[in-house]
Chain A
Amino acid sequence: MSLPLKIIAACAGSVGILFFGAIMTLASQQWLLVNVETHGPDAVNLHIPVPMGLIYPSLHFIPEDAREIEIPDDVELNREALQQMVQVLRDCPDGDFVRVSTRTENVRIAKSGGDLLVCVQTEEENVDIRVPLAFFDEVLQSIDGNKIHTAEMASAFSTVRHSRFLSVRSPDADVTIWSW
């Protein structure tokens, strides 16, 4: 092989490795995929991929007054008891905890795998929420006395992987958030 060919092959190899590395980095990162579909004459279909790797560092730059949420004095949050509650839920076998069915709406709260499911069906709307129990563990870590640290709370989203986190179907719009 001649020298120019060797240089071209080396450059192509480097570019290929860089490209492959970039793809692997993007693929290994957590993404929130937000899909919004509005209905009606001016229907809009939005797909917004949000790389969580960019969100977490930017949380450190949020304004001072938004870094903490004050819990009202009349609400007493017992973090240990709430953590114990999550642990009991984790130890439970899968199944329905609450099931309400009326002529106009159905509500279901259940545990499936390590996730808590909340499904609400009304005549007009359909809401499905799937939250891993690990998410609650993380959120509870963000409670400090009567304050909630927003950055730590947001980092709880790292526990939501490879699932449809939220799905809302209504006459006005459909919203779905996947975590990948």
Chain B
Amino acid sequence: MKKSALLMGIILLLSGGMVLSASEKWINIHVEEADDDTKVDVRVPVALLAVALDCLHTEQIKDGKLKLDMHQLDVDVDFKRIWDELRKYDNTEFVRVESSKENVYVARQGDLMVVRVLEKRNDDAVEEASMTALIKIPVRLVDAVLSSQNHELDLKALIAELDNLPSGDLVEVQDRETHVRIWIE
């Protein structure tokens, strides 16, 4: 009886440890530049980003919030209000531009905001595309970053939400020289 209780205890401890380590999310960034043979790989736990943000106090970043300089942007856009309107629409194509130079597609697909950009080298040479960008941002990530008022981006909420995301790609940009990939696992 004692032995089986001890064994059960050990199994519970081990499984608890496995659940803890499995729930820990890491953000990965891979940048490859072909022209100068450069490769950059960054792999850090999301928890580390959260505490690193606490250490960061600049004019723009305070209390985990990034203040947008609207004077520098030369426009006064209420991003939060625009997003509040946009997020009401499920599975909707918001932008589709098809031209001889580029194709741009912005849509909501379920829980994701998808942005796809395809730059072409000439009219009918899609195979020779010089740049493609695919950005898949979970809606709740945009909710988190725009949860603050007064033209601020809530980086702290963004990082907290990153920790809750399932594993997968967030950003992938590929052109002839550069490949950038950001993903969570």
Contact = CB atoms under 8 A, between A and B. Distances in A.
Interface of A: 76-78, 81-82, 84-85, 88-89, 91-93, 95-103
B43 A96 contact: yes
Q: Secondary structure of the B side of the interface?
A: mixed
Nearest to B29: A98
Contacts of A99: 39-42
Interface stretch (B45-53, B74-82, B109-117): B45-53
Contacts of B4: none
Given A101-B38, A103-B36, A78 B55 contact: yes
A103 B39 CA distance: 10
A85 B48 contact: yes
Contacts of B48: 85, 88-89, 92
Interface in B33-71: 36-45, 47-48, 51-52, 54-55, 57
Given A85-B51, A97-B42, A76 B57 contact: yes
19 contacts: A76-B57, A78-B54, A81-B54, A81-B55, A84-B51, A84-B54, A85-B51, A88-B51, A92-B48, A96-B41, A98-B40, A99-B41, A99-B42, A100-B39, A101-B38, A101-B39, A102-B38, A102-B39, A103-B38
B36 A102 contact: yes
Interface residues of B, number: 18
B150 interface: no
Contacts of B44: 97
Interface string B91-121: 0000000000000000000000000000000
A102 B49 CA distance: 26
Q: Secondary structure of the A side of the interface?
A: mixed
A85 B47 CA distance: 9
Given A102-B36, A103-B37, A82 B55 contact: yes
A93 B51 contact: no
A88 B38 contact: no
A85 B38 contact: no
Which 9 A-B pairs give the minimum distances between C-beta atoms? A81-B54, A99-B41, A76-B57, A85-B51, A84-B51, A81-B55, A102-B38, A103-B37, A101-B39
